């Protein structure tokens, strides 16, 4: 078992660090929040005073932070110049592709190997150790990160070179945002046309309109499996996080010169939904605005 630095013990990182400790790793944990540090201690991690103390002597440095600027700050202040040359740097946060690539280059300049490894799956999957990781980096970086990621998830996929993990994450979530809006619209239209919604679900879920947004995460209460719709759209995947991912996708599309008309429309609709104070509502709750 290894010594692991874990920085960012929020909704996701708290559960992930706990799973590494459960697997027997010596987890040196740091967060700006004292409450998060207390929870990490209770979960078997060793809380430390700052990020640099966590990084000292670690074989893996894992970050799970809100955005690119936080990861950049932690790498500059506490990782570069301090991490052992043998340490693998694994950033699991969802950040923009350009920053992920820049960090990997800076790591190489500092004699270190870094991978981007964003996750699919929410807080429950982080706690249960059933996340999916999509990894961007060299073959060597992937091989070194894989055992740590496998201790926190059920699936670990090498997406390609640096930034490819983030690219996969934002393409996937752009698709998710767009299919969710389309699914909500289809249910609303079905209703207006006098269809019974369960009957429409029974037909569409086995027809060509089927998608994850319909069959696994149905936005209509009482139809399909149990979803946040059955809990008044509480819990699940917050609309504010969907908007964050859509904005990252739009940024990446603009940089790459890619046309994403459906993604852009989904981003506008989630922008308006969040502006109405619905950022904490599950993203399927957007059906209430259609």
Closer Cβ to ligand NAD, 112 or 242, answer by number? 242
136 near ligand NAD, judged by CB under 6 A: no
Residues 84 and 64 sit within 8 Å (Cβ to Cβ):
no
Please select the residue that binds ligand NAD; options are 93, 146, 162, 284, rule is CB under 6 A: 93
Give me the helices (H) in 50-151, please. Answer: 51-55, 68-74, 97-109, 123-128, 139-150
Closest by CA to 220, choosing from 193, 246, 245, 196, is 196
Q: CB under 6 A: which stretch of 5-13, 18-26, 103-111, 174-182 binds ligand NAD?
A: 5-13
Shortest Å, Cβ 148 to ligand NAD:
16
- Which H/E stretch holds residue 81? none
Residue from 22, 69, 154, 169 carrying the catalytic annotation: 169
Residues 63 and 93 sit within 8 Å (Cβ to Cβ):
yes
Q: Is the dihedral of CA 65, 67, 71, 74 positive or negative?
A: negative
Please select the residue that binds ligand NAD; options are 19, 25, 31, 282, rule is CB under 6 A: 31
Exposed e or buried b per residue across 141-154, where buried means at least 16 C-beta atoms within 10 angstroms of its C-beta: bbebbbebbebbbe
Closer Cβ to ligand NAD, 103 or 186, answer by number? 103
Residues in the chain: 290
33 near ligand NAD, judged by CB under 6 A: yes
Q: Which residues, in sequence order, are CB contacts of 193 under 8 Å at separation 6+?
A: none
**DSSP 3-state of 259:** coil
Please select the residue that binds ligand NAD; options are 2, 3, 11, 195, rule is CB under 6 A: 11
Shortest Å, Cβ 56 to ligand NAD:
15
13 near ligand NAD, judged by CB under 6 A: yes
66 near ligand NAD, judged by CB under 6 A: yes
Shortest Å, Cβ 238 to ligand NAD:
7
- For the question of residue 69 being annotated catalytic, the response is no
99 near ligand NAD, judged by CB under 6 A: no
Please select the residue that binds ligand NAD; options are 6, 200, 201, 237, rule is CB under 6 A: 237
227 near ligand NAD, judged by CB under 6 A: no
Count residues contacting ligand NAD (CB under 6 A)?
Answer: 27
Which bin fits 31, alpha (ψ -120 to 50), beta or left (φ > 0)? beta
Q: What share of the chain is helix, strand, coil (3-state, %, to 5)?
A: 55, 15, 30
Closer Cβ to ligand NAD, 11 or 205, answer by number? 11
Other beta carbons within 10 angstroms of residue 115's beta carbon come to: 31
21 near ligand NAD, judged by CB under 6 A: no
Shortest Å, Cβ 84 to ligand NAD:
20
Shortest Å, Cβ 180 to ligand NAD:
15
222 near ligand NAD, judged by CB under 6 A: no
Closest by CA to 58, choosing from 24, 31, 85, 92, is 85
Enumerate the β-bridge partners of residue 27.
4
- Which residues are part of the catalytic machinery? 169
Interface with ligand NAD (CB under 6 A): 7-13, 30-33, 36, 51, 64-66, 70, 73-74, 93-94, 119, 122-123, 237, 241, 244
């Amino acid at each position: 078992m290894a010594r692991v630095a874990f920085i960012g013990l929020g909704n996701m990182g708290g559960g992930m660090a706990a799973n590494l400790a459960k697997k027997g790793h010596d987890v040196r944990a740091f967060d700006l929040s004292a409450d998060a540090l207390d929870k990490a201690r209770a979960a078997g991690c060793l809380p430390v005073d700052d990020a640099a103390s966590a990084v000292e002597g670690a074989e893996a440095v894992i970050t799970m932070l809100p955005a690119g600027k936080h990861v950049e700050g932690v790498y500059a202040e506490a990782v570069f110049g301090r991490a052992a040359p043998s340490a693998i740097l694994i950033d699991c946060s969802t950040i923009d592709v350009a920053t992920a690539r820049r960090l990997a280059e800076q790591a190489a300049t500092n004699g270190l190997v870094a991978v981007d490894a964003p996750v699919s799956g929410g807080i429950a999957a982080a706690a249960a150790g059933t996340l999916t990781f999509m990894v961007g980096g060299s073959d060597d970086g992937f091989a070194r990160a894989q055992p740590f990621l496998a201790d926190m998830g059920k699936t670990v996929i090498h997406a390609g070179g640096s930034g490819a993990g983030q690219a996969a994450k934002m393409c996937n979530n752009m698709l998710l945002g767009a299919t969710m809006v389309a699914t909500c619209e289809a249910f609303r239209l079905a209703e207006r046309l006098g269809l019974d919604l369960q009957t429409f679900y029974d037909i569409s879920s086995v027809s060509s309109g089927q998608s994850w947004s319909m069959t696994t995460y149905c936005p209509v209460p009482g139809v399909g499996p149990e979803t946040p719709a059955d809990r008044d759209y509480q819990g699940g995947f917050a609309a504010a996080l969907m908007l964050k991912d859509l904005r990252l996708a739009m940024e990446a599309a603009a940089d790459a010169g890619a046309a994403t008309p459906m993604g852009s429309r989904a981003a506008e609709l989630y922008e308006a939904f969040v502006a109405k104070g619905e950022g904490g509502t599950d993203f399927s709750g957007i059906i209430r605005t259609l």
